[in-house]
Amino acid sequence: MDHFHKHLEQYAALAVEVGVNVQPGQPLWIAAPVAAVEFVREIAKHAYKLGAKYVHVDWNDDLVTRARLEHAAEESLSFAPGWTVAGRIELAEDGAAFLTIVSENPQALQGIDPARIALATKAQQQAAQPFRPYTLNNVCAWSIVAYPTQAWADKVFPELPEDERAAALWDAIFSATRAKTDDPVGQWKAHAETLGAKAKRLNERKYKELRYRAPGTDLTVGLPEGHIWSYAGKTNARGAAFIPNMPTEEVFGSPHRERVNGTVSSSKPLSYGGKLIENFSFTFKDGRIVEFTAEKEYETLKRLVETDDGSHYLGELALVPHRSPISDTNLIFYNTLFDENAACHLAIGFGFPFAVEGGPAMTKEQLAEAGINHSLTHVDFMIGRVDLQIDGIAEDGSSEPIFRDGSWAF
């Protein structure tokens, strides 16, 4: 077996054994681009060997998506079939695990009116609302992994000969996910323990707020009372561990939606809705975005912020060291799954119920009262850089370093 196929098998094993941690008798739902068929077959084979009851694949394709956005009647873009969501709920009630395979084609929707993209995206988000609690509250195991395509590789490696780019992106993904190591599963378990120790320390400190400082950034982020920092390791309702994002380097939580003040600048481009938003910033007052700028794709950023009322607020703050297997690739992946885990980030949109004590049992109104944001959307954007400083501010006003020069200070 050549190195590529060995690493592909190990990557599939990580997705199934560590990502969603498929259990005997458990259904597995996979969302995947049609280009990933070889990888999906490897995943399905591995899942069935582990005892999966049934593997269902929900295929998608950039060109089909583009055809709709380009040619369909505008009024039809607000339609999203409920039966696809009902199927997921039926599987979730049977204890299914949910694996999403993402790819990236930054040019896929080039030239499409952002307003048409926003219409279709919002309809899909609204249709998916009844399913969201199954993953948002970790009732079901869920995970996201990536699959490289030629279009994505062309974006990441324009300097390489065209026939070498896809292999280079595969190699970078294998490195970033630890799939090239001798014991990927063991490496991931040790990595999760390290992140867990960081989260434990933050939970013990119970900071009132964090202050971020870097060129173009001076931001204070208040934390909810009874806030909880989380990391990669999760447990579903049946007691099985899983890792929601692979790769992951973050320790994360949700801010108090009304206690964010100051300005923050992006450190990496944001790929959103098939467009690339570059060199952007947000200014917050009492939690709400009151001003934003972007050198490229300002209109796309505007559509994101204006998705609904909640998209004017933050739902996540994540601490990610500047040095990691992902950042050591020295690449911009133009893919949020990787780029967010190479840098500290924030997210516009909904917050996590599990980010406050008792949150999963709270109503939407109770969560709002606790400071957890509600929105149809959740989009991460990167702010981490080598000269980022973060301080934790205690209830008595004293401060101590959390990050210095882009990495953990403890």
Q: Share the mean pLDDT of the chain.
A: 94
Mean pLDDT of 291-311: 97
pLDDT at 215: 97
Q: Name the residue ranges covered by the structural domains of the chain.
A: 3-176, 206-228+249-408
**Comparing C-alpha atoms, which of 29, 32, 9 is closest to residue 20?**
29
For 238-285, write each residue's pLDDT tens digit: 999 999 989 999 999 999 999 999 999 999 999 888 789 999 999 999
Beta bridge partners of 348: 314, 379
pLDDT at 104: 82
pLDDT at 201: 97
The CATH fold of domain 3-176:
Thermophilic metalloprotease-like (3.40.1830)
State the Rg of the chain over Cα.
Answer: 20
Three-state DSSP class for residue 64: helix
Q: Residue 50 is encoded by which pair of tokens?
A: 């582990």
pLDDT at 323: 84
For 200-253, write each residue's pLDDT tens digit: 999 999 999 999 999 999 999 999 999 999 998 889 999 999 999 899 999 999
The answer to whether residues 249 and 367 touch, using CB atoms and an 8 Å cutoff, is: no
Three-state DSSP class for residue 6: helix
- H or E segment and range at residue 318: strand 314-319
Where b means 16+ CB within 10 Å and e means fewer, 296-305 reads ebeebbebbb
Mean pLDDT of 182-210: 93
Residue 27 burial by CB count (10 A; 0-12/13-18/19+): exposed, middle or buried?
buried
For 141-180, write each residue's pLDDT tens digit: 999 999 999 999 999 999 999 999 999 999 999 999 999 9
Residues 72 and 74: their CA atoms lie apart, in Å, by: 6
pLDDT at 339: 85
Mean pLDDT of 357-361: 94
**CA atoms 282, 286, 287, 289: torsion sign:** negative
Three-state DSSP class for residue 348: strand
Q: How confident is the model at residue 325 (pLDDT cuts 50, 70, 90)?
A: confident
pTM of full prediction above 0.85: no
| Segment among 48-62, 261-275, 302-316 with least mean pLDDT | 261-275
pLDDT at 45: 98
Residues 104 and 269: their CA atoms lie apart, in Å, by: 14
pLDDT at 332: 85
Residues 141 and 23: their CA atoms lie apart, in Å, by: 10
Residues 381 and 270: their CA atoms lie apart, in Å, by: 6
Q: Percentage of the chain with pLDDT > 90? A: 85
User: Rounded to 5 degrees, what angle do the CA atoms 98, 103, 106 make?
Assistant: 140
Mean pLDDT of 56-64: 96
Backbone angles phi and psi of 30, in degrees to 5? -120, 125
The answer to whether residues 317 and 252 touch, using CB atoms and an 8 Å cutoff, is: yes
pLDDT at 65: 96
Q: Percentage of the chain with pLDDT > 70? A: 100
Q: Which amino acid is at 98?
A: F
Q: Using the predicted structure, report yes or no on whether residue 1 has a pLDDT greater than 80.
A: no
Q: Which residue shows structure tokens 């009647």?
A: 73
Q: Using the predicted structure, report yes or no on whether residue 106 has a pLDDT greater than 80.
A: no
Q: How confident is the model at residue 52 (pLDDT cuts 50, 70, 90)?
A: very high
